[in-house]
Structure 1
């Protein structure tokens, strides 16, 4: 019995010592929770902000998907014996003439951001609108597109990238246009909608359209946010048709984050932050083929500031850490860079790793410090069949890059670790052999 007990101790000791060197890795990948998500509180309250105005809202809930709630119909989705006027039939009870609606929908497929322009079979002449939506989680995408069908008469335009989505609509009398975005909205988020209605919309004077006059000079006169009961919601009329609107998790007392973007950068504007707040920002930049910077969660930010993410690296830095090639860069600028620390969450496609001949354990995040790339402790936090997600803690936010570890992750980061494990194993087994001989 004593020998059996010692054998068990030997095995346990090897597992413990092995775990120190990364042979047994307990991480969010094993528990099903990403390291970034583990530090965040559940998203259970929402507000809408425009300028200095802030209003709590509640999602409209149904027992179906957002697609069934919206119920978009055209000649490709419904047969000839059904009404199919290229519009939303499921939200008719919410629609109003010359009014654009904005709300969250919570259904069997999770949380979605929904927008509906004008009223089906209403007293409207038509209209045009363009939305640029910034700050979206990396996995967000259009799941309802009113209109989307084959044929030159379809004049709606849709676009999306990492952290943003856009749409330009034009509709005729007594019809609607709009859509729904889904993905990543079940956790904390802040999404900013930059509107362009009527004459400001891209399609209002677009002579290249199949029918440039399709909008019939109709106009959107009000922009409303809906909240609460899906059958009879509360309505808040936004003060401006020109100013951006942010829908986010939290309360009106919690820090506010709004987003704007250019072709190669995104700026997050932060208001009312304290040093203890965790601010998960969508970088929406720095992404290359196969690498996505998902969030940069800041701490140590106080008051009001802006943080800009760019697809570039600062001058004076080498292109890559010594001896390895960078897969992607992200540069971060703003007053908060000198005082804040951050948890950076990024993902790498499995195909890219295979192409580069790398294992997930070989991947590291490097931070720029004093003109050099410094390797950070990088953790595999989640994985799927196609991507690997990583997190890293950084104190320097000037610029970060994803690259192979300079000492590959398949080896221990502790010099001589494997030799030490072997020596420990031999010593334990020798002790076990001696005890068993004495027992005989």
Structure 2
């Protein structure tokens, strides 16, 4: 056999090894960086939106944690010889009578969302307020709770769930209430606060409380967002009746507003162009150990809405044929069906071990024409206990996480790829032998 013929056979064999369920070389498609992720806008600018109004804001920055900045004091946190009016002492210089404050705090523990109602030792009769905060990252949680302590006199109530947190406060004269949320706010986010002040608050006439008249005749009259210098911030007035959204980005970018029911979260998008990349916070999914973290959309023109539900889609089987689904997310929407999307989700290593799977065995499947279709899925990060994945889908649809199914191009013969590799090496060896003989002749 001539040397060039042997070379052609050897190269063909090596190509078969690389193309038939074998070695996959790194490329832009499988390194874990999607086009959407590579061109996401910066996360160091922030705005607040309410209705048609949008204002850039800056976090109030300190060299401590948000807990130390807020400095909440009660009988469980401070000794008797320290003032402890069940209020925020660290924000006294910001507080105003009958005014609720909202701002971002940036400190040694990262970014936090902070709210403070009324004024310590001020000329106020007390008040009542309820906040429902939706669109929160999965790791977000209350880290300051004013008030939270044991005893019947504690009348604030706190709650949280999949992508949301809420609080209802009632306070007496010359005191404050409020809190701070932290977790996931160092990256892209959009968080909507649905407010209820005064007679609209849950505890205003709550006869189940120890003292439903605790607030006296006090009312919140103003709601302000603070921005800039921590000692003398800019103040922007907000309506007491309308929801507000604080998000990363600029006022030129698309806006996202969240609302929720007992079993779903809806994201409403406004002012988008087809080139904009819109990051949404989905609900977590149907099972522990798997978390749907973000959904990045492109191709939206002007407006649209997306609803996320932690359940199996009604019109699809629970998983692709012959495999078990680890978690599913039902996605429905208006004007977003043809929007390409990048779905980011994480899976705990313990869950993979429980199912006898490796990270490379998983794939995201998207609903398409009543069937599950495998999406291009890559491992984008790992921590030792958790793997993060990104998947590209051609249009936004319900998704499920499951084991990859063998493709039609993969060999059904055990050891087939190894045999091809051995043959290729043998051919290359023969090629070099022929060349050596030709050189000697």
User: Taking structure 1 as the reference length, what is the TM-score of the superposition?
Assistant: 0.87
Task: List aligned pairs for 1:29-44, cutoff 5 A.
Answer: 37-44=37-44
Task: List aligned pairs for 1:135-214, cutoff 5 A.
Answer: 135-214=135-214
Task: List aligned pairs for 1:271-286, cutoff 5 A.
Answer: 271-284=270-283, 286=285
1:385 is aligned to 384
1:6 is aligned to none
Task: List aligned pairs for 1:256-275, cutoff 5 A.
Answer: 256-275=255-274
Task: List aligned pairs for 1:34-433, cutoff 5 A.
Answer: 37-238=37-238, 240-284=239-283, 286-407=285-406, 417-428=417-428
- Asked if structure 2 preserves the Cα contact closer than 8 Å seen for 1:35 and 1:381, the reply is no
With over 3 angstroms needed to count, the CA separation of the structure-2 counterparts of 1:29 and 1:144, relative to structure 1, is: farther
In 2, the alpha carbon distance for the partners of 1:154 and 1:27 equals 55
> Following TM superposition, by how much is the alpha carbon of 1:42 offset from its aligned partner in structure 2, in angstroms?
2.0
Worse overlay, 314-323 or 240-249: 314-323
Number of aligned residue pairs: give it: 424
In 2, the alpha carbon distance for the partners of 1:28 and 1:84 equals 57
**Consecutive unaligned residues in structure 1, runs of 5 or more:** 1-12
**Consecutive unaligned residues in structure 2, runs of 5 or more:** 1-13
With over 3 angstroms needed to count, the CA separation of the structure-2 counterparts of 1:438 and 1:371, relative to structure 1, is: same
Q: Deviations over 1:351-379 (max 9, x none)?
A: 32222222222211111111111111211
* SS of corresponding position for 1:337: coil
Q: Deviations over 1:277-308 (max 9, x none)?
A: 11111112534222211111001101112111
In 1, the alpha carbon distance for the partners of 2:83 and 2:425 equals 75
With over 3 angstroms needed to count, the CA separation of the structure-2 counterparts of 1:178 and 1:378, relative to structure 1, is: same
In 2, the alpha carbon distance for the partners of 1:312 and 1:125 equals 46
- Asked if structure 2 preserves the Cα contact closer than 8 Å seen for 1:164 and 1:284, the reply is no
> Following TM superposition, by how much is the alpha carbon of 1:330 offset from its aligned partner in structure 2, in angstroms?
1.4
With over 3 angstroms needed to count, the CA separation of the structure-2 counterparts of 1:352 and 1:27, relative to structure 1, is: farther
* SS of corresponding position for 1:338: coil
* SS of corresponding position for 2:113: strand
In 2, the alpha carbon distance for the partners of 1:385 and 1:29 equals 20
> Following TM superposition, by how much is the alpha carbon of 1:312 offset from its aligned partner in structure 2, in angstroms?
3.1
* SS of corresponding position for 2:335: helix
With over 3 angstroms needed to count, the CA separation of the structure-2 counterparts of 1:208 and 1:276, relative to structure 1, is: same
* SS of corresponding position for 1:102: strand
* SS of corresponding position for 2:145: strand
Worse overlay, 285-294 or 137-146: 285-294
> Following TM superposition, by how much is the alpha carbon of 1:390 offset from its aligned partner in structure 2, in angstroms?
0.8
- Asked if structure 2 preserves the Cα contact closer than 8 Å seen for 1:19 and 1:25, the reply is no
> Following TM superposition, by how much is the alpha carbon of 1:402 offset from its aligned partner in structure 2, in angstroms?
1.0
In 2, the alpha carbon distance for the partners of 1:164 and 1:437 equals 76
- Asked if structure 2 preserves the Cα contact closer than 8 Å seen for 1:28 and 1:381, the reply is no
In 2, the alpha carbon distance for the partners of 1:28 and 1:109 equals 35
Question: Over aligned residues, Cα RMSD in angstroms?
Answer: 3.1
In 2, the alpha carbon distance for the partners of 1:19 and 1:179 equals 57
Task: List aligned pairs for 1:2-17, cutoff 5 A.
Answer: none
